[in-house]
Amino acid sequence: MKKIRYVHDPIRPPGLLMIQRELELGAFNDGDEFCFDAIRGDCSGQAARNVLILRCKVRQLNLQNAWLEKLQLSDCEVEHCDFSGAQMEKAHTDCCRIADCRLLGANFSEARFDNVVLTGCLADGAWFSKAKFNAARFVNCSLRSANFEGADLSGVRFKDCDLSGANLTGAKLAGADFRGSTLDGLAVAAADLRGAIFTSAQAVQVSALLGIVIEEEGREDWL
User: What domains sit in the chain, N to C, each tagged with a CATH number?
Assistant: 103-209 (2.160.20.80)
Report the SS3 class of residue 53: strand
Residue 32 has pLDDT above 70, yes or no: yes
pLDDT in tens, 99-128: 999 999 999 999 999 999 999 999 999 999
Cα angle value 217/218/222 (rounded, 5°): 120
CB atoms within 10 A of CB 1: 3
Residue 89 has pLDDT above 70, yes or no: yes
Q: Burial code of 188-206, b = ≥16 C-beta within 10 A, e = fewer?
A: beeebbeebbbeeebeeeb
pLDDT class for 194, splitting at 50, 70, 90? confident
CA distance 154 to 108: 17
Q: What is the average per-residue pLDDT within 197-210?
A: 82
Q: Cβ contacts of residue 213 below 8 Å, gap of 6+?
A: none
CB atoms within 10 A of CB 93: 25
Q: What is the average per-residue pLDDT within 128-138?
A: 97
pLDDT at 204: 82
Q: What is the average per-residue pLDDT within 39-60?
A: 96
DSSP H stretches of helix in the chain? 200-209
pLDDT class for 221, splitting at 50, 70, 90? low
pLDDT at 4: 46
pLDDT at 12: 76
Percentage of the residues of the chain whose pLDDT score is greater than 90: 75
Residue 180 has pLDDT above 80, yes or no: yes
Report the candidate in 99, 191, 193 with the shortest Cα–Cα distance to residue 178. Answer: 193
